[in-house]
Amino acid sequence: MAPSIDPEAHPLEVPPAAVTIPALSFIIECEKLKAVERRSRPIGMPRRENSAEHSWTLALMAMTLGPEINPAMDMLRVIKMLLLHDIVEIDAGDTFCYADQSGKAEREQAAADRIFGLLPAERAAEFMELWHEFEEAATPEAKFANALDRVMPLIQNHANGGGTWSEHGITTEQVLGRAGVIEGVSAELWQHVKSLVAAAQLAGWLKS
Amino acid sequence: MAPSIDPEAHPLEVPPAAVTIPALSFIIECEKLKAVERRSRPIGMPRRENSAEHSWTLALMAMTLGPEINPAMDMLRVIKMLLLHDIVEIDAGDTFCYADQSGKAEREQAAADRIFGLLPAERAAEFMELWHEFEEAATPEAKFANALDRVMPLIQNHANGGGTWSEHGITTEQVLGRAGVIEGVSAELWQHVKSLVAAAQLAGWLKS
Ligand SMILES: [Ca+2]
């Protein structure tokens, strides 16, 4: 039987353990990413995906596809960026990529300040820099990481028979507009995206 | 409204997209790890944790704690191991760490053969080697990765007011027996584990 657990509501029920490693308070805070729901669904599952398991998939994609796509990339940097890239959603929430993005940058910076601020200074600075690198999408590593973040929902929507495309009446133009970053990263990935979009159009899952 | 999606039940409803990147069939297969339930629960959540989001937490812990605990480690290798370490559970299921472990190694090897077999040869060989390294727990990187896999459920059970310890009547001896690998990896982590266990004993969450 699943107990209804809310440690903030019952702080005294958890006896304190001596915290010998300050960075663990960051790890405990990051558990909350498992409760942040995205619009997309894992392939074959009726429930929505959370941002923690989504981040796992992207890191796994990076180590799987990265060596073929660009072996010169710093793969550790790519993977760190992907593991961190959505943590700000703990405070700022997931913003649907086809929704109004106003205020998003400010909300997310405040979230990064608070959450990375739980870490010792050196680690906080490293993680903040990695998160900014991902957001700016200027380095080869950040472009690749961003491309994976765009590709995976397309793969999920295609495999799920339309997914969030059909649910929200998304157009081919909207999808290809957001997917443009992929073209510069990998001709193969871009080819795959065009193939997914063509199949989705034929099936009537994307409005033209 | 969440549609009930099961692509295997309706294969003809998904029009084929030209698969230009064979490794993507591995990524699609790995979506199933999001449906593998562990015994533990994310901190503060009534639902059980899945093995995909668990793997994300461990990779994040590695990049957060690793540089302090042992900066000489190959951190990319540690993180790759952690991202991959539970993928065999897609076929073999999660075996509760305090349950009978017989047949587990054979089931998991067969799963690794099948799932990593979806990858191009070079990547399949790399991932199989990383998975074996994690399982053997002999290198500093694999010992650290295994230690994190042992520590996180203790942190979750403590923060959740007993969690799987209370639910399954686990003893202090069982917990410390499994946590031994941590002692050789980091005196600080070991100190933290002893502190969590002491708090749990005081609260009556662990049987003596
Ligand atoms: Ca594990």
Does a structural domain hold residue B11?
A: no
State which H helix or E strand residue A200 sits in. Answer: helix A187-202
Output the average pLDDT for chain A. 91
In the predicted model, what is the mean pLDDT of residues B15-42?
90
Condensed to tens digits (0 to 9), the pLDDT of residues A123-177 reads 999 999 999 999 999 999 999 999 999 999 999 999 999 989 988 999 999 999 8
| Range with lowest mean pLDDT among A34-38, B164-168, B182-186 | B164-168
Say yes or no for a CB contact (<8 Å) between B18 and A45.
no
Q: Which of residues 52-81 of B touch A (CB under 8 A)?
A: 52-53, 55-57, 59-61, 63-65, 67-68, 75-76, 79-80
In the predicted model, what is the mean pLDDT of residues B107-132?
97
Does a structural domain hold residue A31?
A: no
d(CA B126, CA A63): 10
Does residue B19 belong to the interface with chain A, where contact is any CB pair within 8 Å? yes
CB pairs under 8 A between A and B: 217
Task: Look at residue A95 and tell me whether its pLDDT is greater than 90.
Answer: no
Does a structural domain hold residue B117?
A: yes
Q: Indicate the DSSP class of residue A13.
A: G
Number of domains in chain A: 1
* B47 → closest Cβ in A2, A27, A61: A2
Does a structural domain hold residue A207?
A: no
- pLDDT for residue A19: 65
Length of chain A in terms of residues written: 208
A158 to chain B nearest CA, in Å?
7
SS3 A101: coil
Does a structural domain hold residue A8?
A: no
Q: What is the 3-state secondary structure (H, E, C) of chain B?
A: CCCCCCCCCCHHHCCCCCCCCCCHHHHHHHHHHHHCECCCCCCCCCCCCEHHHHHHHHHHHHHHHHHHHCCCCCHHHHHHHHHHCCCCHHHHCCCCCCCCCCCHHHHHHHHHHHHHCCCCHHHHHHHHHHHHHHHHCCCHHHHHHHHHHHHHHHHHHHHCCCHHHHHHCCEHHHHHHHHHHHHHHCHHHHHHHHHHHHHHHHHCCCEC
d(CA A60, CA A63): 5
In the predicted model, what is the mean pLDDT of residues B166-186?
91
In the predicted model, what is the mean pLDDT of residues A101-124?
94
- pLDDT for residue A8: 53
Does a structural domain hold residue A116?
A: yes
A159, B82, B179 from B143: Cα distances, Å:
37, 11, 12
User: What is the CA(A152)–ligand 1 centre distance, in A?
Assistant: 24
Does residue B50 belong to the interface with chain A, where contact is any CB pair within 8 Å? yes
- pLDDT for residue B10: 46
- Write the CATH number for B183: 1.10.3210.10
Condensed to tens digits (0 to 9), the pLDDT of residues A123-137 reads 999 999 999 999 999
Question: Do B71 and A54 form a contact (C-beta atoms < 8 A)?
Answer: no
Does a structural domain hold residue B30?
A: no
Residue B107 structural domain: 49-203
Question: Do A157 and A163 form a contact (C-beta atoms < 8 A)?
Answer: yes
What residue spans of A41-171 are helical by DSSP H?
Answer: 51-69, 75-84, 89-92, 104-116, 121-136, 140-159, 163-168
Longest dimension (CA), chain B: 60
Chain-centre distance for alpha carbon A28: 19
| Range with lowest mean pLDDT among B18-27, B64-73, B130-139 | B18-27
User: What is the CA(B64)–ligand 1 centre distance, in A?
Assistant: 18
CB within 8 A of A49, min separation 6: which ones?
Answer: A37, A38, A40, A41, A42, A156, B34
SS3 A37: strand
- pLDDT for residue A14: 73
- pLDDT for residue B198: 92
Does a structural domain hold residue B20?
A: no
SS3 A3: coil
| Dihedrals phi, psi of A171, to nearest 5 degrees | -100, 160
